[in-house]
């Protein structure tokens, strides 16, 4: 399993703010652990792995 493209991952999370981490992992057909490794590798803050982190507004919510 390769890494998820950083741009694809970030774009998908921004375009679908209602989804949780498990939905995002399912979309990319990876396990939650693989998603966590990609997020850590890209140092993306805000993806709520296990709903334990508050999303970063600048990355994961549309600007009002």
Residue with more model confidence, 22 or 2: 22
Q: Determine the Cα–Cα distance for residues 13 and 60; give it in Å rounded to an integer.
A: 6
Q: Give residue-wise pLDDT tens across range 5-37.
A: 888 888 888 888 888 888 999 999 999 888 888
The pair of structure tokens assigned to 4 is 């998820």
CA 5 vs CA 2, 17, 46, 51, 63: distances in Å: 9, 18, 17, 22, 23
Q: pLDDT grade, residue 47 (50/70/90)?
A: low
């Amino acid at each position: 399993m390769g890494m998820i493209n950083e741009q694809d991952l970030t774009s998908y999370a921004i375009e679908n703010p209602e989804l949780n981490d498990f939905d995002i992992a399912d979309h990319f057909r990876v396990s939650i652990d693989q998603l966590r490794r990609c997020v850590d590798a890209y140092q993306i803050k805000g993806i709520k792995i296990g709903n334990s982190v508050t999303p970063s507004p600048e990355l994961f919510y549309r600007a009002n």
